[in-house]
Chain A
Amino acid sequence: MAFYRPASWQKPLSLLLLCAALALPSVLAAFGQEFYIGFATRVLIFALAASSLNLVLGFGGMVSLGHAAFLGAGAYAAAICQQAGINEALLVFPAAMGIAGLFALVVGAISLRTRGVYFIMITLAFAQMAYYLFISARSWGGDDGLPLNGRMTLAGFSLADDAALFYAAAGLLALAMLFFGRLAEARFGRTLQAIRENETRMEALGYPVFRYRLVAFALGGAVAGLAGALLANLTGLASPNLLQWTQSGTLLVMVIIGGVGYLYGGVVGAAVLLLLEESLVGVTEHWHIILGLLLLAVVLFAPKGVAALFGKRHG
């Protein structure tokens, strides 16, 4: 894999997409299709979650099969905060990020001592442990999950309106992408990518490799936690299913379809997968077959992901 370098048109295109996103709720409302605002919010939230995995997997080279645990941790953190009477997203979202990030720090501190298949298995094991913990936690709703008592407020503005939540998700995704983009070209991102390329060489240049990996892993977990808190607001529920390994698998598929190690790989992958699901579910209940075929096609014909089709990336 090569080091990240943005194409010259990347910035204008992302600004254009941001503007289009901001106009989307009014356009949908004008056509009486408000239902799709919720769907679009879901795409944005999963774009955020998949992008956080892309930091870990694409830039850090760590194949984690437990990333959904941090998504779920964020969702539960939000629901529990609300139960405790904190309903302001300016407090809840950072708390969700902190808790998910801390959880990732612990999981990473143990898992990152292993490599390859062992790392995949141990992250999976941690996520499944968290899954069963939440299923058996009766005070947090057990396998029914922990419902939210309506949506939160953000800086005093209610997120109850679908468009308001959509804007909040779009703003946070934009901020996250700006941060990831800067990070990729800053010292930390260069170091992380170099470790992905050649761990031993970096060790021999004096880099404490483990520490960089761990910070990236925790950072990815924290952003996944933010996505979880947003998702809990969208669906009104912190469900244990969010932590299940199939969810981690879905995030992985999104990143692979979108483009591993491409800044917008997670965003593209989440959009492609969810749009496909949404449009195919109406046609046939066996839509997973078509999804499988798509995945095959991507791996065979665009092994670097959809985002790679739109530009060259080189060292």
Chain B
Amino acid sequence: MADALLDVRRLSRRFAAVDALKAVDFSVQAGEIHALIGPNGAGKTTFIHHVSGALLPDSGSVHFAGRDVTRLSMHQRVRAGMARSYQITNVFLGLSALDNVVLAVQGRADAGSSFRFWRPVRDETALFDDARSYLDQVGLSSKTGVVAGQLSHGEQRALELAMALATRPQLLLLDEPMAGTGPEESARMVELIEHLARHVTILLVEHDMAAVFRLADRISVLVNGQLICSGTPDEVKNDAGVRRAYLGDHL
């Protein structure tokens, strides 16, 4: 698929005696929400680590926006337009919500160099205005001044999303955005992701099947490091191999 935004080819990774990823072929088309599902320990997070650049593969390649990024480091991939959120909330708990997003804005190439030693960040109003717009997008407008450590779990997840968005990605890698959220927060997160998907392509790793089937345009299923199925939600739902892997308990 020539026009895929993300194109992973025959990606393999071995940890000691375990084949964590076995020649995975995987692609995400621009504009879609592509969900990656699979039982616990299937290698989903390992896969995301390889796409984002936190880990390097033994063999295979990762192409992003027509460019081979296999050997690029994580920060180079972020600059190339790939942002990720974490399974475990990963924000600066001691900073306000706004300051968290300011850090993300400041890291962007178009925000200028961060090798500035004299002018206080608080005087850079452009950074703060931009950061506010991302908090608006995720529904945290009223929490800008609140220290991140005092936000609710759901709000922290939303903040994490705002930070990822502030890097202005073409592709958003969301690693279990609903993890640990209650049903109400979960519903809000689904709405938020639907809203975001209008502007950005999303690769979603998620255990919440209701959310996955509501959101995803396409679904890929990873089992024991192998991609066993990739297709529309209906195709995946009716796939015999997927049913076997899940023993029918979710689908």
Q: Which of B108, B119, B121 contacts A206, CB < 8 Å?
A: B108
Q: In this assembly, does B15 line the interface, its C-beta being within 8 Å of a C-beta of chain A?
A: no
Q: Which of B54, B84, B94 contacts A3, CB < 8 Å?
A: B94
Chain B: residues with Cβ within 8 Å of the partner, total of 37
Give the residues in chain A near B109, CB-CB below 8 Å: 206
Task: For chain A, residues 54 to 97, give those with C-beta under 8 angstroms from any C-beta of chain B.
Answer: none
| Per-position 1/0 for A189-211, Cβ under 8 A of B | 11100100110111111111100
Chain A nearest CB, measured from B83 CB (Å): 7
Task: For chain B, residues 88 to 108, give those with C-beta under 8 angstroms from any C-beta of chain A.
Answer: 90-92, 94-96, 99, 103-104, 106-108
Q: Which of B78, B95, B108 contacts A315, CB < 8 Å?
A: B95
Give the residues in chain A near B90, CB-CB below 8 Å: 198, 200-201, 204
Task: Evaluate whether A187 and B52 lie within 8 angstroms (CB atoms) in the complex, with A203-B74, A204-B74, A206-B167 already known.
Answer: no
Q: In this assembly, does B163 line the interface, its C-beta being within 8 Å of a C-beta of chain A?
A: yes
Question: Which residue of the partner chain B has the closest CB to A1?
Answer: B94
Chain A: residues with Cβ within 8 Å of the partner, total of 30
Give the residues in chain A near B250, CB-CB below 8 Å: none
Give the residues in chain B near A204, CB-CB below 8 Å: 52, 54, 74-75, 78, 83-84, 86, 90
Task: For chain A, residues 1 to 22, give those with C-beta under 8 angstroms from any C-beta of chain B.
Answer: 1-3
Task: Evaluate whether A190 and B103 lie within 8 angstroms (CB atoms) in the complex, with A198-B92, A204-B83, A206-B75 already known.
Answer: yes
9-residue interface stretch from A39-47, A178-186, A239-247: A178-186
Q: Which of A182, A187, A197, A315 contacts B106, CB < 8 Å?
A: A187
Question: Which residue of the partner chain A has the closest CB to B78?
Answer: A206
Question: Which residue of the partner chain B has the closest CB to A189?
Answer: B117
Give the residues in chain A near B74, CB-CB below 8 Å: 203-204
Contact A191 B106 (CB under 8 A): yes
Give the residues in chain A near B229, CB-CB below 8 Å: none
Task: Evaluate whether A187 and B94 lie within 8 angstroms (CB atoms) in the complex, with A194-B103, A206-B107, A209-B75 already known.
Answer: no
Task: For chain B, residues 31 to 87, give those with C-beta under 8 angstroms from any C-beta of chain A.
Answer: 52, 54, 73-75, 78-79, 83-84, 86
Q: In this assembly, does A121 line the interface, its C-beta being within 8 Å of a C-beta of chain B?
A: no
Q: Which of A185, A207, A212 contacts B121, CB < 8 Å?
A: A185
Chain A nearest CB, measured from B235 CB (Å): 33
Contact B120 A186 (CB under 8 A): yes
Q: Which A residues lie at the B interface, using CB under 8 A?
A: 1-3, 179, 182-183, 185-191, 194, 197-198, 200-209, 212, 215, 314-315
28 contacts between A and B (CB under 8 A): A3-B92, A182-B117, A182-B119, A185-B120, A186-B120, A187-B119, A187-B121, A188-B115, A188-B116, A200-B90, A201-B90, A201-B92, A202-B107, A203-B78, A204-B52, A204-B74, A204-B90, A205-B75, A205-B78, A205-B104, A205-B107, A206-B109, A207-B114, A208-B73, A208-B75, A212-B114, A212-B115, A215-B115
